[in-house]
Structures are given as structure tokens and as C-alpha cells.
Amino acid sequence: MDVLGDGLIEALRLLLTGDEDTWAITGLTLRVSLSATVVAFLFGAPVGIVLALGRFRGRRVLLAVANTGMGVPPVVVGLFVTVLLWRAGPLGALGLLYTPTAMVIAQAAIAAPIVVALTATALQQVDPDFLLQMRGLGATRFRALGALLVEAKLPLLAAAMAGFGAVVSEVGAAQMVGGNLAGETRVLTTAAVLATSRGQFALAIAFGLVLLFIAFVVNLAVTLAQHRQGATR
Amino acid sequence: MSIGCRDLRVTVGGRDLVSVLTLDIPAGETLAVLGSNGAGKSTLLRALAHLGTASRSGTVLLDGQAATTAQLRQAIAAVLQRPVLQRASVLDNAAAGLRLRGVRRGEARRRAEPWLDALGVAHLADRHARTLSGGETQRVAIARALAVAPRVLLLDEPFTGLDATTRTDLLADLRAALDEQNAAVLLVTHDREEARALAQRTALLVNGKIRQLGVTADVLDAPTDLECATLLGFTTHLPPALTGRATTLVARPERCRPLDDATPPPMDTVVIEGVLRRVVPLGGAVRLDVDTTTGPVRAVTTADVPTTPGSPIRIATATEHLRECPTHDPSST
């Protein structure tokens, strides 16, 4: 109990006194995870749109693949990305392994299926005649699609945030492709693991609290967005 | 601007859902397309607007010239059967058609406002669209379409699901709103009264084909075949074997009345005999289902029924309410 109590007090002290390392790690975590989310959204949202609106053979299989992708363990993604970026691997020449860029790639790969699946779900929840009605009012295909995305903006925001929530809290891929190098690729999750293994519980708890806070903010935003959507349904 | 089509066909699985050889609606005219469920009314409307993904062939004309999809988008505003409003305020919804055509938000809202007023929903302008009743939603959807000042307005059963009072009010408001525009209007409906209230001409659509087309009052009162007769409410069919006439006679059930045994047949009536199968209460009236030698016949009356089920009954229809109706030969269209 003392360990936990003392750890909590020390953690709060570290955060409130602006411990440089803690905030640097937090900054890198946010930078990497936000970048990965943006990349995942840029690639995943269009795929989700095609899967939601397209009528082609294999669409349901691809949707099932995206849904399955939501449950792929980060450590498996980390393994694949590591192999790809390994010095002797297909992309080894780029020299990206153990860099924040490698972590962005791995985390984007983790978030992309989430964004794809939730984008498709978001658009499928809109009235099936929505696009037809917009076209019937004179909209071009492009403008009608724009109106559809605006109509589904809150679920789309939730999709992006779910992607962010998944990557900011994962540790397996970040550890494997980032290597947890101090000042370079150390993020909150890998730092917490390291601190715990060294018995620095206060530090580990501080990292945990920051992670919890970020997770809370993300979930609060998603919940508020969903409630606003529900209230106006 | 007029809209029309030549040999317009919509095909699904090798079957023609709609096949209209020729149709023209001049500017300023409202044409009602009357048909039963599944007749192809909505499919025809969507084909005219090049909406949807159904396989389509033939030509849609604007002012007599073959029109491209882009030209149709510019000319047409369509109100679908189930109004789809955006997750926004009523005013923003009314302005949505203009916004989708590239008009700036402020300007679009300014131009849409009078149409909310014309449709009687101006007081709801700031309300969220999802809080509206069915009738209010439909009014906003119509205001949204009218706000773009369409040269062609397509209305797909805009009164479906509305209560009688709301429907009557909306019919009146829509009539007034249409009078202010010089648009060619296509009204798809299954309701004769809507056609009578709004349309100068009416087309009867049966199995995807136009069977009758003419001035609304004439079409509604003079079916040319049995299917059109049924569509127009002439559901009492009296075949030659029953009347001794050369063709089948049709009448509205409410024009057929029972005779008691003591009453001699009035002048200028056709009287048929049968057995009363059952009496179906219809609020203030009753429907009599009568079995005859050629099949069932129905009559609706507010008078006392002179007999009980299982007993013989005579049904009289004045000749002025009867229409001659040859059986339709599908190969003739």
C-alpha cells in the first residue's frame, strides 16, 4: 500500500513540478500517436467510404477483413513492421527502424483497420437514401459525398479517436519498432514498462496517470460526440 | 422548361420495371402519375432524374432536347417519398439544395426563408430537423426543393403517412406554392384525390407502362381497361355474362346499392343477382360482398341491408355510374 501511496504522491509531484523527462516522453507519445492517427485516417477513411458506398464483389469480405484487423494484436503488427524495416528487410535501406517514423508506421497500421471499419459503419448508419436525395437536389457526386461526410462527422470523429485511443495505449509495436531509446523513441507505455522493471514505481505511475488522462480525454470526447449524435437522431 | 422522355426503360434482371414510350410535361403543368404499389412510379421518377443505379435506357428530354445527367441535375429538384433531412436546423435544411448548388450559406438561407413561410413552417426555422413531426418534415423537404427554383420538380408521394388534416393543409399550401412557379411538375401518387387537387393531367401507370394519359378529370372518370378501372376505384366489375351487355361494365362500389325484394328495379339501372356472402362494416357504411355466377362483386352502402349472409340479394347500379371497359390486352401496348 505504501508503495502505491508513495508512488502516487511522487507521480503527482513529478507531473506538477514539470519533470522534463516525463513531459518530453508525453510530447513524443502524443506526436507519434497523433501522426499515426492522421496517417491512418488519410488512408483508412477513403477505404471505409468505398466499402460503405461501393457495390462490388468482395466488399463484405473486405469489411470482414477490416473488422478482423481491429482485433490484431499490436505485437503482431510490430513484428511485421520490424521485419519490413530490418536492415536486411525489404525496406531496410530506408534506415527507419528504431525511429519515431517507424513507430508512426506501426501505429498507423494498427489504427487503419479501426478507422476503416468504423468509417464504413458510420456511413452505413446514415439514411440509405441520403446520397440519392442530395443528388436529387442538384448536387454533383462530389458535393453529395461531402454532404454525407458532414452528416456523419461525429461518428467519423469517433472513428479517428478510437484509432488514436488504440495506438496511444499500445506497447508491443512501440517497443519492437522503436526500441525504447531514451530521448528518441521512448513513449509513455514503453517508459512505464521500463520504469516498472527497474522498480521505479513512482515514475511508472506518473506515466500511467498521464496515459489514463489521455485515454479519459479521448473517451470523453467520443462519448460526448455519440451523445450529441443520439440526442439529435 | 419542359421535361419528357422517349422509350425510357428501366430493366432489372432482364425484366422491364418501367417502359414508357413517350411522356411530355410542359413548363407550368403538373402531371400526376397514378399507380398502385409496385407499378413503377418511383422508378419512373428516378429514371427521369437519372437518379439511382438501376439499368436505364432511352432518352430524357429537357425542352425537347436530349439531356445529360449534369443538365438534369441543374434543372431538377426531387422530393423523395421518405423525406431525408440533414442533421441541422430547419432553415439550414431548407437552404441545403441551394448550398449543394454552390450558393453561399447566408445567401442560401436568405433565399430559402420565404419557402419555409410558404409551406407554413417558418416558425420552426431554428428547430433541429430531427425534432420535427412527419408532416413538418415533409413540408421542409418540399420547401428545400422549391427554394432552388427548379425548372422541373419531381414529387414522389409527398403526402404518404400524413394524417388527413395535415395532408389537406399541405395539399393547399403546395398548390399555392406551385402556382408561383413555372416549373414542370411530376407528382407520383397512388391517391386519386391528390391527382385531382394538384394535376392538370394524369397518367395511369400499370406494370411500368402508361395505360392512360389525359386531363385529370377525364382520366379519373373514364377507365379504358379493367386494371385502370381498379386503379381508379371502379372495383365492381360486371362481366357480360352477368349483365348481358357486350363488354364488362365497371362501377365504384359506393354507386352500387342493394334492392329489397319488394322494390322494382328503377329505370336506367343494371341489376345483378347473387348471394350475400358477408357484410363488412366500414365506419358509417357497410361493404357487401356478393357472390355471383361469374365471381364476387362488391357494393358499399349506407342503407339498411335487406338480407342476411347466405341469402339472395339484388344489386342495382344506375347506368350513369357504369363505364364500359374492355379487358386489357397487354400485347397492345
Domains and CATH numbers, chain A: 2-231 (1.10.3720.10)
pLDDT digits (tens, 9 = 90+) for A9-24: 877 887 788 778 888 8
CB contacts of A123 in chain B (<8 Å) are: none
Give B43's pLDDT tier (boundaries 50, 70, 90): very high
Segment 154-193 of chain B within 8 Å of chain A by CB: 154
Closest CA to B159 of B206, B197, B123: B197
Furthest CA-CA distance within chain A:
69
Residues B219 and B270 in one domain: no
CB–CB of A127 and B86 under 8 A?
Answer: no
Phi, psi of B58 (to 5 degrees): 100, -175
Q: Considering the entire predicted model, what is its pTM?
A: 0.83
Q: List residues of A whose CB lies inside 8 A of any B CB.
A: 55, 127, 129-130, 132-140, 143-144, 147, 150-151, 229, 232-233
pLDDT digits (tens, 9 = 90+) for B68-77: 999 999 999 9
CB–CB of B51 and A139 under 8 A?
Answer: no
Tell me if residue B70 falls in helix, strand or coil. Answer: helix
Residues B292 and B211 in one domain: no
Report the chain A residue with the minimal C-alpha distance to residue B78: A136
Residues B197 and B312 in one domain: no
Residues 6+ apart with CB under 8 A from B319: B268, B269, B270
Phi, psi of B62 (to 5 degrees): -120, 125
CB–CB of A147 and B53 under 8 A?
Answer: no
Cβ-contact B4, B48 below 8 angstroms = no
Taking the C-alpha atoms of residue A131 and residue A135, their distance in angstroms, rounded to an integer, is 6
Residues B51 and B130 in one domain: yes
Judge whether B276 lies within some domain: yes
Give B333's pLDDT tier (boundaries 50, 70, 90): very low
Tell me if residue B233 falls in helix, strand or coil. Answer: coil
DSSP state letter for B25: E
CB–CB of A138 and B49 under 8 A?
Answer: no
Residues B217 and B277 in one domain: no
Which helix (H) or strand (E) segment holds residue B291: the answer is strand B285-292
Tell me: ipTM over 0.85.
no
Alpha carbon of B69: minimum distance to chain A alpha carbons (Å)? 10
pLDDT digits (tens, 9 = 90+) for B255-305: 988 887 777 777 888 888 888 898 888 888 888 899 888 888 888 888 777
B12 in reach of chain A (CB within 8 A): no
Tell me: pLDDT of A110 over 70.
Answer: yes
CB–CB of B80 and A138 under 8 A?
Answer: no
Residues B15 and B144 in one domain: yes
Give B332's pLDDT tier (boundaries 50, 70, 90): very low
Residues B181 and B270 in one domain: no
pLDDT digits (tens, 9 = 90+) for B145-191: 999 999 999 999 988 877 788 788 888 888 888 888 889 999 999 99
CA B11 to chain centre: 23
CB–CB of A136 and B78 under 8 A?
Answer: yes
Residues B115 and B244 in one domain: no
Cβ-contact B326, B250 below 8 angstroms = no
CB–CB of A150 and B52 under 8 A?
Answer: no
Q: Which domain holds residue B148?
A: 3-228
Size of interface A-B (CB pairs under 8 A): 63
pLDDT at B93: 96
